[in-house]
Amino acid sequence: MHIVVCVKQVPDSGQIRVHPVTNTIMRQGVPTIINPYDLFSLEEALRLRDKHGGEVTVVTMGPPMADQALRKCLTFGADRAVLLTDRFFAGSDTLATSYALGQLIEKVSATWGAPDIIFCGKQTIDGDTAQVGPGIAKRLNLLQLTYVQKIEDFDFDKKEITVHRRAEGGIQVLKTKLPCLVTMLEGTNEMRRGTMADALRAARAGIITWSAADAGITNLALCGLKGSPTIVKKVFAPPARAEKAFQIEVADKSYEDICDALLGEVYKRQPALEQDMVKMAPGY
Amino acid sequence: MAEEKFDVIVVGAGPSGNACAYTLATRGLKVLQLERGEYPGSKNVQGAILYSDALEKLIPDFREDAPLERHIIEQRIWMMDDRSYCGAHYRSEDFNEEKPNRYTIIRAPFDKWFSKKVVAAGALVICETTVTELVRDAHDAVIGVRTDRDDSIIYADVVVLAEGVSGLVGTRAGLRSIPKPDTVALAVKEMHFMPSETIAARFNLQDDEGVVIETAGTITKGMTGTGFIYTNKECLSIGIGCLISDFTETSQTPYGLLEAFKNHPAVKPLLAGSEVKEYAAHMIPEGGYKAIPQLFGNGWVIVGDAGQFVNAVHREGSNLAMTTGRIAAETIFDLKSHGQPMTAGNLSMYKARLDDSFVMKDLKKYKNLPRTLENKHLFTTYPRLLSNAAQTYFRVDGVDKKSKENAIVKSFFTTRRVKGLLGDVLGMARAWR
């Protein structure tokens, strides 16, 4: 079995600040991490490999320093890592990115065999679009399972996968044929600690680095800024909400008094609710 | 996993570990370096000043690509009381030389740079991996390590403990005892960012010139310790540290000291308008010569802060770390290339070479100083006396100079008495010689 996992190196959003005047993201000096959603994909891929055999290939598109993220993936236990890096890719939006990654995966397939599953994170924490995974599936003409929170069953002989997909209003249980593309939700698993053997292997391994030409990407008009019709019109910090949280003093008060105070504050904001509650009271 | 064996395992990727791993790898030994932090430097804290000499001996052309902040052209030493300082400044155009002698640095980028050199030299560097125990053979010789990743053992002819001040691995293995509270200082620091032009104006600097200020006095509230202010390119590092035993006794807090130091009338204007972007705390081994643990044994050596290699008087530590790391590596290489086993007897050459170097000579020179510095008068009484003396002398108020001089002399004798004064002077002289 061959599993491909797409990852992205992103700024640690917990440490990002928005410039108060220009409203632009201040990336300077912000450390980079692997997009957290991608780690859930990688762990799921590693579990399938451990159970059914095969190989996990991690791929990314990014600047040369993205090799740090890939090396970390190897430390977690991935079998190989490929970095697609070229100045032609600078300024890619989701359309151009999914094109480049699709082409990259074609090349990976030609080199190490066609993947049975491609994993992506639900979305990245810097773009938040959740478009790249589906974009890749469309370009590779693959079935796709998005927002997956659990892999219920995986039958490699029948080439079938059954998953729980989070949808508005409930959970869908979906079964599909392999090959397919899966995007994983957060909290689906916990990333393992790679073994010492993995760590040693990762420290020794070279990261396979491909340029656009190496990956067989010739139509550069579809790449980078040229291939990106998206225009960022405005970036802004949402205004602070007017209503403020406050605390209700509870010291030396009975539970009844605390409940009364709490409900009083709720009813003040939702007068209709009070009427409904009164109607529900016994003996009304 | 297939059992792996290395010539040397280095525990830790600070200055001593990097110096050691670099020296060994450039000589072709098979080296594994294990670091618990996310990247080399992520756990490391220093003021920080880089002394060129120790690094030059490893990487002669380090100035070409190392992330350096400012070269130091001026040293200020301040004795402070609550409202004043009395100091000595030394500034010289001679420090604007082709190969400057001291630089301010920021450790996170510097350590990353150093580690890249180690990797380029051929060592295998693995981060986010904590060594949990030393593995020994039937004769108690150290033969490898275990990590927090799994139960596997990685073997080596010799393990270099460059694990820093707390020395957890060595302590757990019973090679040494936990550092005592009166041999370790706790220092806190903040990085105050401001435009480089502001720094240049406030400290009278041009281009990459820098100033360091070392201070002592009532800022440590009677505890044994010092403060510092260093100029970086676009920020000031300001910090203060005291012995842990003193913090315990006085219930003072490190952040309380730092706040008071920052608000001292002589310091506050230097920091005005700055933005704090980083703060850090770290322990510094300050026990000196007498606190140095056993440094070698069958299959192991200790280098850097783990060996208490800090010259507290001269604020030197990273250079001692690099030098001990280098000398340990050279010793290991010499033994290896002569086919000698890594026994305690053979590794004792490391200690002998250290004794011959400035590292041990300097620490030995000040071996009695830690005890002398426990004299609290040095941090409270004398700074106040000094400040009062200076003020009496410089204030023009119609009193004749002779009377002023008499008053100054009298103030010393009434405050400390003849016996106290003599004792303090003799104590310092004896500790310094």
Q: Are residues B164 and B38 in the same domain?
A: yes
Q: Are residues B242 and B125 in the same domain?
A: no
Q: Minimum mean pLDDT among A229-238, B321-330, B384-393: which range?
A: A229-238
Q: Which residues of B touch A12 (CB under 8 A)?
A: none
pLDDT over 80 at A160, yes or no = yes
Q: Do B149 and A195 touch (CB under 8 A)?
A: yes
Domain total of chain B: 3
Tens of pLDDT, residues B341-391: 999 999 999 999 999 999 999 999 998 887 777 788 888 888 899 999 999
Average pLDDT, chain A: 90
B34 within some domain:
yes
DSSP category for residue A128:
-
Task: Tell me what ipTM this predicted complex has.
Answer: 0.83
- The domain containing residue B399 runs over which residues? 371-432
Closest-CA residue to A190 (of A31, A66, A33, A46): A46
Tens of pLDDT, residues A164-204: 999 877 889 999 999 999 999 998 899 999 999 999 999 99
Q: Are residues B209 and B301 in the same domain?
A: no
CATH number at residue B8: 3.50.50.60
pLDDT over 60 at B2, yes or no = no
Q: Residues spanned by CATH 3.40.50.620 within chain A?
A: 2-222
pLDDT over 70 at A135, yes or no = yes
Q: Are residues B30 and B143 in the same domain?
A: yes
- Fold type of domain A2-222: Rossmann fold (3.40.50)
Q: Are residues B251 and B191 in the same domain?
A: yes
Q: Are residues B279 and B305 in the same domain?
A: no
Position B192 scores a pLDDT of: 96
Q: Are residues B277 and B190 in the same domain?
A: yes
- Strands (E) in B68-222, as ranges, are 71-80, 85-91, 102-104, 124-126, 131-136, 142-147, 153-161, 184-193, 209-217
A233 three-state secondary structure:
coil
- Strands (E) in chain A, as ranges, are 2-6, 9-11, 17-18, 25-26, 32-34, 55-61, 80-84, 117-121, 143-155, 160-167, 170-177, 180-184, 208-210
* Radius of gyration, CA atoms only, chain A: 24
Number of helices (H), then strands (E), in chain A: 7, 13
Q: Are residues B277 and B297 in the same domain?
A: no
Position B143 scores a pLDDT of: 97
pLDDT over 80 at A281, yes or no = no
Q: Are residues B21 and B164 in the same domain?
A: yes
Q: Do A200 and B149 touch (CB under 8 A)?
A: no
Between helices A196-204 and A67-76, what is the axis angle to 10°?
A: 150
CATH number at residue B232: 3.30.9.90
B350 within some domain:
yes
Residue of B nearest to A195 (CA): B149
Q: Give per-residue burial for A178-206: e unless 16+ CB within 10 Å, then b.
A: bbbbbbbbeebbeeebbbbbbbbbbbebe
Query: Residue B420 — pLDDT band, cuts 50, 70, 90?
Result: confident
B121 within some domain:
yes
B252 within some domain:
yes
The model's pTM: 0.86
Task: Tell me the shortest Cα–Cα distance from B36 to chain A, in angstroms.
Answer: 13
B→A contacts (Cβ < 8 Å), by residue, are: 1-2, 4, 32, 124-126, 128-129, 147-150, 152, 154
Position B82 scores a pLDDT of: 93
B98 within some domain:
no
Q: Do B1 and A195 touch (CB under 8 A)?
A: yes
Query: Residue A25 — pLDDT band, cuts 50, 70, 90?
Result: low
Q: Are residues B162 and B111 in the same domain?
A: yes
Q: Are residues B34 and B140 in the same domain?
A: yes
B366 within some domain:
no
Average pLDDT, chain B: 93
pLDDT over 90 at B61, yes or no = yes
Q: Do A199 and B150 touch (CB under 8 A)?
A: no
- Between CA A5 and CA A8 the distance in angstroms is 10
B119 within some domain:
yes
Tens of pLDDT, residues B76-94: 999 999 999 999 999 999 9
Position A284 scores a pLDDT of: 67
Query: Residue A20 — pLDDT band, cuts 50, 70, 90?
Result: low
Task: Tell me the shortest Cα–Cα distance from A192 to chain B, in angstroms.
Answer: 10
Q: Is the dihedral of CA A160, A162, A166, A171 positive or negative?
A: positive
Of A75, A196, A203, the CB nearest to B147: A196
Q: Are residues B297 and B281 in the same domain?
A: no
